[in-house]
Amino acid sequence: MSVLETSGLTKYYGETRGIEDLNLAVEEGEVFGFLGPNGAGKTTTIRTLLGFISPTEGTASVLGRNACEERELIEAKHHIGYLPSDPGFDEETTGTRFLDYQASLKGDERRDELVELFDPPVERKIEEYSRGNKQKLAIISAFMHDPDLVVMDEPTSGLDPLMQDRFYEFVQSEQERGKTIFFSSHILSEVRKVCDRVGIIRDGRLVTTEDVETLLDRSGKRVRVRTESSVEPSDFDFAGVHDLSVDGEVRFTFTGDYDTLIDHLDQYSLVDLDVEEAPLDEVFMRFYGGEVHA
């Protein structure tokens, strides 16, 4: 039985499509990335799964309970952690009091350990918190009752790069403890760090579900090269080169064999070389077609 499952899940807000005919299954112990540009339907999916909104059609279940039946879901929620995309707080209260209240609802056996790890200023009022500190508090709240399944909606927004890395490590350690994690994001590079499989959503529809490795192999890298001597576009006309531009520097997206690329570059005297992950919008354009409204 899947930990989280949707079948034909559809949600319209009046005439506006949130999600349409979504079929997903996340298995126990997976870190599943739910990847899509802004407005794709990630939050709608999560809110439907957690029973905050009712689907227009279709079914959803979490931990074997029907997500559309409030009573069933209440029981399951003791074992679910939720990290919303924009956590709301009573700003007047302190972090400690916020966590005390959350603990009274669902328990907090891992609280001390998590406060030490993420270290938000819990004694201060939340109104004094930076965006990142609020996010840390929300992370602690999502995990402190040691849930079996954690659903996270863009969890790293507001965290600085060091804290993001700490969070990715933490997610990996949670997986090692057998937890299942549903990780919504619009950032391909973070999904690759922590997820095993990825579901890609665009315009409310699930475009594909695949292993992260497969997705990355197909996504390619964006390459920027400056050479001492001038080059012609025809010099870079070989397998795996896409969207080539030669304009003072050579820029292209590369999906071919890296040894071939290195061999090719070896004939030039390089002034500068930059290789980075292809951005999500490019990946979408190349493999899944259409515009990305990011």
Binding stretches for ligand ATP (CB under 6 A): 13, 16, 18, 36, 38-44, 85, 186
Q: Is the CB of 14 or the CB of 178 nearer to ligand ATP?
A: 14
Q: Is the CB of 40 or the CB of 163 nearer to ligand ATP?
A: 40
Q: Are 204 and 40 in contact (CB under 8 A)?
A: yes
Closest C-alpha among 228, 288, 233, 283 to residue 253? 283
- CA-to-CA distance for 173 and 167, rounded, in angstroms? 10
Closest distance of CB 130 from ligand ATP, Å: 21
Closest distance of CB 47 from ligand ATP, Å: 8
Closest distance of CB 281 from ligand ATP, Å: 13
Q: Is the CB of 16 or the CB of 269 nearer to ligand ATP?
A: 16
- CA-to-CA distance for 185 and 79, rounded, in angstroms? 22
Closest distance of CB 76 from ligand ATP, Å: 22
Closest distance of CB 162 from ligand ATP, Å: 24
Q: Are 130 and 118 in contact (CB under 8 A)?
A: no
Element housing 49 (H / E)? helix 42-49
CA-based angle 191:192:198, to the nearest 5? 60
Q: Is the CB of 42 or the CB of 222 nearer to ligand ATP?
A: 42
Q: Is the CB of 84 or the CB of 95 nearer to ligand ATP?
A: 84
- CA-to-CA distance for 168 and 179, rounded, in angstroms? 14
